[in-house]
Amino acid sequence: MNKIMAYQIPFRSKELKQQVEEFLNYYGKEKVNEHSYQVADEARKLAEKFNLSAEKAYVAGLLHDISVVIPNEERIALQRSLNKEVLKEEEILPMILHQKQSVFVAEELFGIQDAEILSAIECHTTLRKNASDLDKVVFIADKVKWDRDDSAPYLEELNQALTQSLDEGCRVYIRWALLDIIVLHPWLKDAMDDLALS
């Protein structure tokens, strides 16, 4: 049995939204549950605005942070036990691995197989090279509904940018994030190259 399966719980509901709530509440992550609902709703709205699949955006939003149940100090060992690489930047800041590990949880415990949904979950923190529009929607939805108590300081500028394009929205957030970034993940570096930000 791999270490992801150890997190499995029996679901009472057949509905994904309820299952996410059951799962996160079981592990005492009620705040993340609330954040996930908000990101899912925001991702659905953005997907409609940019003519993408609202359903895929919603599911990716619900599950993007689902690996929060894995303690940060266990993430590197877990990654290695699954024979997945650990980048130098992820070794410095293991929390960044939560985007990749949410994919494993979504696949194995929630039965998600759609490659576009899994991709959007996988790069919701850093974006990536050749990011899809759905990747960008979930990335931005997570920043609009960020997981801190006050509203995001860049929100007005971000909303303004989104009246132009998804890419412009990504640029606004990334410029802000660079002000106090701890490590520059290579996927973010690639995304910045694509967005002509570096």
Residues listed for the chain: 198
Q: How far is the CB of 116 from Fe ion (least distance, A)?
A: 18
Residue 125: closest CA among 102, 148, 106:
102
Least distance to Fe ion, CB of residue 196, Å: 25
Q: Which of residues 140-179 bind Fe ion (CB under 5 A)?
A: 142
Stretch that binds Fe ion, among 10-18, 40-48, 139-147, 184-192 (CB under 5 A): 139-147
Size of the site for Fe ion (CB under 5 A): 2
Is 122 among the residues that bind Fe ion (CB under 5 A)? no
Round to whole Å and give the CA distance between 37 and 16. 11
Find tokens 């309820």 and name the residue: 18
- Smallest gap, in angstroms, from Cβ of residue 39 to Fe ion? 6
Helix (H, G, I), strand (E, B) or coil at 116: helix
Q: How far is the CB of 67 from Fe ion (least distance, A)?
A: 9
Round to the nearest angstrom and report the end-to-end CA distance of the chain: 43
Q: Cα 46 from chain centroid?
A: 15
Among 65, 90, 122, 190, binds Fe ion (CB under 5 A): 65
Q: Which of 166, 186, 26, 176 is nearest to 109 (CA)?
A: 26
Q: Is position 135 an interface residue for Fe ion (rule: CB under 5 A)?
A: no
Contact flags string 14-53 toward Fe ion, x per CB under 5 A: ----------------------------------------
**What does the binding site for Fe ion look like in residue numbers (CB under 5 A)?**
65, 142
